[in-house]
Amino acid sequence: MTAEATPPVAARVVSSSGAVVEVVENQRLVFGRGPDADLVIVADRGLSRRAGMIGGVRGGAWVANLSHTHALYAETDGYQIRLPPMEAPGDPAGGWFMRAGTTLVGSRAMLDDGQPLRVTIMPAASGPIGTLGDRPARPDEDSTLLPLYLDPNTKLFLVALLWCRPWLIDPTRTTPLPRTPEIARAALEVTDAHHELEQFDNDPVFRDRLAARVGEHVKVLRRKINIRGLVRSGTRLSDEVVVGVLIEHAIITFSDLGRLSDPSWCSRQEDLWWDRT
């Protein structure tokens, strides 16, 4: 299977009030009680103003808790997953990844009162197909609980993807992993930063500065892995250990390589990395 073989899907979100929203890849839907939420939920118990997020990702959808005070729940086919409140500012570190079927999402009260959000995975641009009653996917079949999530539309994700790329291509893991200067140069290539690429090759000060920026992202990845307990206590987080964790826990996958040939995604990364004003 090639990196581009994953068929596009969309998440159809239906609220108890009848509102219907489709979330496609690289889109986010924030829901909660607050007026700044994309989907406002009328609830008065156990739901924050910005309660959660449903994000469209390659091959499925991601459900994450945005609240610092209240838990969210994802329920499918008799299984229930508790998504704990966020511990620190920033992107959510954990969540529920859906590849197929229907999942009920909401606070404990929303589920108990029969008023959850219904999130259904279906082919993108499928139109109004009556799939909301389809059998939900079992967690051990088509859904995966990931201990760490990286937003594809961040610089951190690109660094992680470029770091993992050699081992995604070479499952024997004999290909050497890139160091921070090599990752930095690869980021320039992905974002079509031709002027900066020439500067990188000829200006040691610029090269060191950009490599240092990449190094900070690498530190963040190591810290996230350590905080989430993805390695045994005392394990040295070498490059090989970190990349192994990212791949083995499906935080970065083979299908993500397809993003590197996606012009719109690369353009978004260019906007993140380089200020053209």
pLDDT for the residue numbered 140: 36
Q: How far apart are CA 59 and CA 233, in angstroms?
A: 33
* Interval 44-70: pLDDT, tens: 667 899 999 998 887 888 899 999 888
Domain hosting 48: range is 9-146
pTM of the model: 0.53
Lowest mean pLDDT among 61-70, 108-117, 167-176: 108-117
Pair 36, 114 in one domain: yes
* Interval 244-260: pLDDT, tens: 989 887 788 888 899 99
**Residue 107's CATH number:** 2.60.200.20
Which domain-ending residue is among 103, 127, 146? 146
Query: With 90 as the cut, is the pLDDT of residue 277 above it?
Result: no
Pair 161, 199 in one domain: yes
Give the contacts of 29 (CB within 8 A, at least 6 positions apart): 11, 13, 21, 23, 38, 39, 53, 54, 55
Q: How many domains does the chain have?
A: 2
Residue 3 domain-assigned (yes or no): no
Share of the chain above pLDDT 90, in %: 38
pLDDT for the residue numbered 274: 82
Pair 251, 164 in one domain: yes
